[in-house]
Structure 1
Amino acid sequence: MPIENMEEQGLEKNPNLELPQIKFLLSMREYQNNKELAAKLLEAIEAENMAPFYEIVCKDLGWAVDNNLLQKMKTNNAEKLAQLDAAIEDAEQNLGEMEVRESNLRKAEFLCRIGDKDSALSAFRKTYDKTVSLGHRLDIVFHNIRIGLFYIDHDLITKNIEKAKSLIEEGGDWDRRNRLKVYQGLYSIAIRDFKAAATYFLDTVSTFTSYELMDYTTFVRYTVYIAMIALPRNELRDKVCLVSL
């Protein structure tokens, strides 16, 4: 187990991967009328002015669109985007390359936060092209993987996992190498490759820092469940039962 909870020092939970999980539950017959879950999802959408995601949710779940709410969120987003674009223009005219990159990154992160998938990916590509540091390039690739996980976009996930592997071979640091394994493990669960998921998760259970994906308690729970499914009894005993997770 990690010596201390470093969640506050980890990457931002952007996008918030809890939201598609709630949306999925609300699509199931036994939860579709669950007012608590619906309220939790709507509250999160309103808190971040997630107008694009709200439209997807309403379409997929058959919710009636609250046009007043939608317009309010769109107005707030337009104002924020105008500020971000102005900051980019100012950086390009008056500041250095680092400030230009940072201003573009802030715009990309904002677009991701509100659920504007295509615009976010475009902005991250632009930011990536302005990024020199290998570590910062990897952080953008990880962000793209999270967007893929948020929307269950298999092509986006697999392409960026391969890109991350290639960058790490160029000299990625210890933390990012371990982070990639967690991302690979989570995606392996999504595609039901439980053996691979167990391998990735067990390799990182003592070094976990990927709090942008889930908290540590959830990670350990997933690790145990997947190991029970995927491992033979002798490996389960040696790698899980006899080890303090």
Structure 2
Amino acid sequence: MENQEGKQQPHLILANKLFLLTHPDVDDIEKVRLRDEVYNAVVSDDMAPLYETLVGNGVLNLNQKVLDSMRAKIDEELKQLDEKIADAEENLGESEVREAHLAKSLFYIRISDKEKALEQLKVTESKTVAVGQKMDLVFHTLQIGFFYMDFDLISKSIDKAKNLFEEGGDWERKNRLKVYEGLFCMSTRNFKKAANLFLDSISTFTTYELFTYDTFIFYTVLTSIISLDRVSLKQKVVDAPEILAVIGKIPFLSEFLNSLYDCQYKSFFSAFAGLTEYIKLDRYLYPHFRYYMREVRSVVYSQFLESYKSVTIDAMAKAFGVTVDFIDLELSRFIAAGKLHCKIDKVAGVLETNRPDAKNALYQATIKQGDFLLNRIQKLSRVIDL
């Protein structure tokens, strides 16, 4: 179960298939194929605990003979692993003892026994001295966390990894951790931090156990578009050679990015519509689908309006290739939510921008803070007088 460079973790491939199997937008015919693939993967790795869970959830049908066979194989292999641990402790050195415990940890991960895997990883850590090897154990824990989408476990493991790096650690593992943390941030809707971590890892990406490089670039572009300003987007994404080398392989992504930067709004909306299907079917992005859709539209509307003091609603609708009613409804929602700084003159059919002045905003903030400070001083003076 040790990671192979360039190859995604089988457990995470399985997790994605399980996600698609319960997705409302996946065709029934596709779900039949996915169900067979999930069943075969579960049986081939003797994942009895996961099989029981999936049967209980109605995802798979119970085959008692298969379940009994898996349990028998698990018992036999555990017996062999325990014998190897006992032999290593009696006859071999500390390194061999650690390897024997690690093998048992990886076995529990393989059969998807979460609690026992985490428990055995702690035992293995107690037998581990080198910081690099301890980090590898944390990466195994993080993979368990992403399989079960256990964000509490992921967060604690990332903090633990950072503490380990204070003791030492090589750059390759530090760069891998950035991708793990970036995926965690993206999965918990912290797109800005995710974009920064992904961009820092573009030239050093080796985290193939999580996802392919193409998928990594997909995530990097999506998070960057709603997180970076126009200048940074040009420098770090649009002109980045690592992104240029891959972006053409991903449907709609190049047009999505470049049409936004080139202000080709009709093309942008067309590409965005194509990309939504890929975002919907991504297990990390799907929970934030509606939020991401709103954020992207907010970015593109803001960019369009920055060029004008006032513009007709009809001109904006033509620029985006949509109806006037659609733009009117869209903008009214974003204005009410404080996402856009403009006013709609419905009678004249005009949009008037009222972008906040930075100096005026600072002045207002200073006044507000000054009033707050004076109130606190007055309250304190009353207490002192008493």
TM-score over 0.5 (shorter chain): yes
Structure 1 residue 24 and structure 2 residue 23: aligned? no
Q: How has the CA–CA distance of structure 1 residues 62 and 36 changed in structure 2, closer, same or farther, with 3 Å as cutoff? A: closer
Identity among equivalent positions (%) equals: 45
Instruction: Give the 3-state SS of the residue equivalent to 1:163 in structure 2.
Output: helix
Alignment of structure 1 residues 174-213 onto 2, 5 Å: 174-213=171-210
For 1:36 and 1:110, how far apart are their aligned partners in 2?
Answer: 27
Structure 1 residue 102 and structure 2 residue 99: aligned? yes
Q: Is the 8 A contact 1:185 1:196 kept in 2?
A: yes
Alignment of structure 1 residues 1-245 onto 2, 5 Å: 8-9=4-5, 14=9, 16-31=11-26, 33=28, 34-245=31-242
Aligned length: 238
Displacement after TM superposition at 1:15 (Å)? 6.1
Q: How has the CA–CA distance of structure 1 residues 30 and 59 changed in structure 2, closer, same or farther, with 3 Å as cutoff? A: farther
Counterpart in the other structure of 1:3: none
Q: Is the 8 A contact 1:14 1:113 kept in 2?
A: no
Aligned residues: CA RMSD: 1.7
For 1:84 and 1:194, how far apart are their aligned partners in 2?
Answer: 43
For 1:178 and 1:103, how far apart are their aligned partners in 2?
Answer: 28
Post-superposition CA distance 1:34-92 (Å, at most 9, x none):
11111221221122111111222223344322222211111111111111111001111
Q: How has the CA–CA distance of structure 1 residues 228 and 117 changed in structure 2, closer, same or farther, with 3 Å as cutoff? A: same
Following TM superposition, the consecutive aligned residue runs of length 4 or more in structure 1 with deviations greater than 6 angstroms are none
Q: How has the CA–CA distance of structure 1 residues 102 and 14 changed in structure 2, closer, same or farther, with 3 Å as cutoff? A: farther
| Residue type at the aligned position of 1:237 | K
Displacement after TM superposition at 1:228 (Å)? 2.0
**Structure 1: any 5+ residue segments left out of the alignment?**
1-6
For 2:74 and 2:8, how far apart are their aligned partners in 1?
Answer: 19
Greater displacement, 20-29 / 105-114: 20-29
Q: How has the CA–CA distance of structure 1 residues 223 and 8 changed in structure 2, closer, same or farther, with 3 Å as cutoff? A: same
**TM-score w.r.t. structure 2 length?**
0.59
Q: Is the 8 A contact 1:101 1:127 kept in 2?
A: yes
For 1:122 and 1:56, how far apart are their aligned partners in 2?
Answer: 20
Displacement after TM superposition at 1:13 (Å)? 5.1
| Residue type at the aligned position of 1:26 | L
Q: How has the CA–CA distance of structure 1 residues 86 and 13 changed in structure 2, closer, same or farther, with 3 Å as cutoff? A: farther
Q: How has the CA–CA distance of structure 1 residues 116 and 14 changed in structure 2, closer, same or farther, with 3 Å as cutoff? A: farther
Compare relative contact order (CA 8 Å, sep 6+) and give the higher one, 1 or 2: 1
Post-superposition CA distance 1:14-49 (Å, at most 9, x none):
562121221112112233731111122122112211
Displacement after TM superposition at 1:231 (Å)? 2.2
For 1:8 and 1:20, how far apart are their aligned partners in 2?
Answer: 18
Greater displacement, 234-243 / 201-210: 234-243
Q: Is the 8 A contact 2:5 2:209 kept in 1?
A: no
Q: Is the 8 A contact 1:15 1:113 kept in 2?
A: no
For 2:144 and 2:23, how far apart are their aligned partners in 1?
Answer: 23
For 1:64 and 1:229, how far apart are their aligned partners in 2?
Answer: 43
Instruction: Give the 3-state SS of the residue equivalent to 1:231 in structure 2.
Output: coil
| Residue type at the aligned position of 2:191 | F
Larger radius of gyration: 2
For 2:57 and 2:184, how far apart are their aligned partners in 1?
Answer: 23
Q: How has the CA–CA distance of structure 1 residues 179 and 117 changed in structure 2, closer, same or farther, with 3 Å as cutoff? A: same
Greater displacement, 176-185 / 222-231: 222-231
**TM-score w.r.t. structure 1 length?**
0.91
Q: How has the CA–CA distance of structure 1 residues 100 and 14 changed in structure 2, closer, same or farther, with 3 Å as cutoff? A: farther
Q: How has the CA–CA distance of structure 1 residues 129 and 13 changed in structure 2, closer, same or farther, with 3 Å as cutoff? A: farther
**Structure 2: any 5+ residue segments left out of the alignment?**
243-386
